A and B are shown apart, each in its own frame.
Chain A
Amino acid sequence: MRELVPECERLRLTVDVNIFCDANADRFLPDWFPGVRFTYSGPGMRDFMEFYDVTLNAPCDFVLFLDADTFVLDGAWACSYFESFTDPRVAGISFVPRKGAPAIFALLCRAESYRDLPAPALACRYEFPENWPRGVNLQPGDFAARELVKGGKIVINVDADESARHIVNFRGTTGLRSSREHVTRAVGEQAFLQSVAEYPACFIAAYDNVMLGCLYESLYHEPFACDPVGTPLGASLTIAELECALKGIRDVKQLERLDERFQHSHRNISRMAAREGVELFIPSVLPNGKPG
């Protein structure tokens, strides 16, 4: 936001920053977000899926959907893409791809193009459910991108290399925190911790939450992602829980892959810390004691 808003205003755009507080609304302190509007879940906007379409239909020309775990480091670069909209066929710009295709992580939409689609335009879908589990699980925005292209529109897909130079994302961090909340509420903490061991992506999300926590604590001098009793990272995986889960991995190749991925996250958080002028202490979590 700090990067994007001034650059948008330089283009003489009037900007409305709207944060969807899907859960824990009381933790969004207005003093920390000057000039920001908060939208709370409720009737007509019961979850982020409905938020997408309600926001799309608000009176505006463009909407930038930006995930909570995605950070634009270069607002001028992002805003340079507004020029693409001089081509009337351009409906959107996906700044962060998923598996090489446009995604909603950071998606700038020409609102009228998306509004022309059948509602809900941006919600996820499951195609060929009769073939479950081999149906097609379309993520939010996937259906819209496909329909727009079918109709002759263009969704510009910024490639992964270019994206990584200007945007940092810690995908899955919010999802893991939400998952812990739901699973723990339904079946208890032990089942949640067991489930984490079964899904390697959780290790990455947990590590990325550790990274975000390091930066957050350094900037705001308070713990990140606390559980209801105030344990730092207790709403994700605490460092001790993550270490314990990683110790259970016997597959050396899996550990190497995690090490590589953790180092990638380490570099990204270091980029963000350098911009803020702070130094981070990154704890070791892997059994071999490497920084990652």
Chain B
Amino acid sequence: MSDVSILGAGELYIRKKFGPGTVNRGAALFECEWDGGRFESGLFTGGMFRSGQFAGGIFLGGIFWGGTWLSGIWEGGFDRNGIYHSRGDSPFPV
């Protein structure tokens, strides 16, 4: 589990795991696991969004397994059944 609690703008993380208490404010997460915490802005791509809040930023090509989709840009990705949802979808309403 990473120690980082605030992920800053322009930072890059690859294949890391983030737990509750982590807030993303503009970092890019490639193939990461998000398990709790609040994703406010930045990029989530190719990873597993296990739990937490997605409140802003871009979701691209990952799996939205659980958690709450509040806001943000869905560019494409999979639900917990592995079904693909296209750009602009809102498969996870508040």
Contacts and interface: CB of A to CB of B under 8 A. Distances in A.
Given A129-B63, A132-B63, A46 B10 contact: no
B36 interface: no
B25 to A, nearest CB: 11
A238 B28 CA distance: 22
Contacts, number: 79
Contacts of A195: 12, 14, 28, 30
Majority DSSP secondary structure for residues of B touching A: strand
B87 A125 contact: no
B88 interface: yes
Interface stretch (A63-71, A74-82, A150-158, A186-194): A186-194
Contact of A187 (B27, B63, B81, B86): B27
Given A129-B65, A133-B48, A187-B9, A123 B84 contact: yes
B82 A187 contact: no
A124 B42 CA distance: 24
Contact of A129 (B28, B57, B76, B81): B81
Interface in B34-65: 41-43, 45, 48, 57-58, 60, 63, 65
A191 B63 contact: no
A194 B30 CA distance: 12
A191 B88 contact: no
Interface residues of A, number: 27
Contacts of A128: 82
A85 interface: no
Contacts of A30: none
A281 B91 CA distance: 49
Contact of B28 (A49, A124, A191): A191
B58 A185 contact: yes
A135 interface: yes
18 contacts: A46-B86, A126-B78, A129-B48, A129-B80, A129-B81, A129-B82, A186-B57, A187-B11, A187-B43, A191-B10, A191-B11, A191-B12, A191-B27, A191-B28, A191-B43, A195-B14, A198-B12, A198-B30
